[in-house]
Amino acid sequence: MKLLADNISKSFARAGSQQKLFSAVQEASLLLEAGRLVAVKGRSGSGKSTLLNMLGGLLKPDAGHVFFDKTELYTLDDVALSRLRNQKIGIIPQGHTALRSLTVLENVILPVRLYEPEKDVDNRALALLQEVGIAELARANPAELSGGELRRMAVARALIQNPPVLLADEPTGDLDDENTELVLHLLRKAADAGTAVLLVTHESAAEPYADEVYTMNAGKLQFVS
């Protein structure tokens, strides 16, 4: 399995600026392969999240293509693209993304329920929660969890479908050192298990866990190591 960004660009209209278009990503190419963890570093606003969203099928590039194996993502209609994202691409979005009307366990199971409501994945979800260290909070309401615990819940949720691709957007933002290490360790473990992992971060702590490191600066992606 591979996820390939081929010369993708994205610009946004910027209100109140003389320069009408803001170029968030410029002709970026990136290959994600099974078993490898790619880290993209950069300051806030450098275009990292825009790149990740284009790779995740959430944001159509203005130019260039995104391929999931041989399928060009943005030729799919919304239903097919959503289904592919649900089953093949696990995404850990920025910030706290638990649904407050569901328990922690229900949040983790939610991606499965969307298309296979009858499928029993409770044991797998509990095992994942065990793996990320919050099994005892399975029946808790997300409001009772700390920021680090919520981020770990998001990791478990992204892994519930056992996706071949995992995209993590600032998964360690505002976490303490201990939780940062824990989350990075989980992502590395997923890569070692055969998942293609993209880690977008502004922190240097991720570098030791990555197979490849890129930087993003003003929309331009550069290979570092």
Partner 1 sequence: MDFITSFSLQNIKRRPGRTIAVLLFSVLFATAIFGGTLLTGSMQQGLRVLNSRLGADIVVVPVAAKTKFNVNSVLLQGTPGYFYMERKVLDDVAGIEGVEKVSPQLFLASMTADCCSASLQIVGFDPRSDFAIQPWIRETYGGLLGDGDIVAGSNVRFTDTRMLKFYDVNCKVAAQLAKTGSALDNAIYANEDTVKRLIAASQKRGMNQYNSFDPADATSTVLVKVKDGYDIEKVTGEINLHVRKVKAVAAKNLISDVAAGLSGLSDMIGICIGVIWILCVLIMMIVFTMLMNERKREFAVLRVLGTSRSMLSRMVVSEAVLINLAGGIVGIALASMFVMLFNTAIGNLLKVPFLMPPVSTILLLAGATLLISVLAGGIISALSAKRISNMDTSLILREGE
- Applying CB under 8 A, the residues found at the interface with partner 1 are 49-50, 53, 56, 58-59, 78-79, 82-87, 91, 93-95, 97, 99-102, 106, 110-111, 113-115, 117, 157, 169, 173
Distance, in Å, from the CA atom of 41 to the CA atom of 203, rounded to the nearest integer, reads 7
Q: Residue 145 has what DSSP assignment? A: S
Of the two residues 37 and 158, which places its CB atom closer to partner 1 in the complex?
158
Of the two residues 49 and 201, which places its CB atom closer to partner 1 in the complex?
49
CB of 196 to partner 1, least distance (A): 18
- List the end-to-end C-alpha distance of the chain, in Å, as a whole number: 22
CB of 208 to partner 1, least distance (A): 26
CB of 192 to partner 1, least distance (A): 24
CB of 149 to partner 1, least distance (A): 17
Of the two residues 63 and 99, which places its CB atom closer to partner 1 in the complex?
99
Give 95-99 contacts, CB < 8 A, sequence gap 24+.
Answer: 95/173, 96/142, 96/147, 96/150, 96/151, 97/150, 97/154, 98/142, 98/145, 98/150, 98/153, 98/154, 99/142
Of the two residues 59 and 145, which places its CB atom closer to partner 1 in the complex?
59
Of the two residues 16 and 117, which places its CB atom closer to partner 1 in the complex?
117
Provide the total of helices (H) and of strands (E) in the chain, helices listed first.
6, 10
Beta-carbon contacts of 78 under 8 Å, excluding residues fewer than 6 positions away, are: none
CB of 81 to partner 1, least distance (A): 8
Distance, in Å, from the CA atom of 70 to the CA atom of 66, rounded to the nearest integer, reads 10
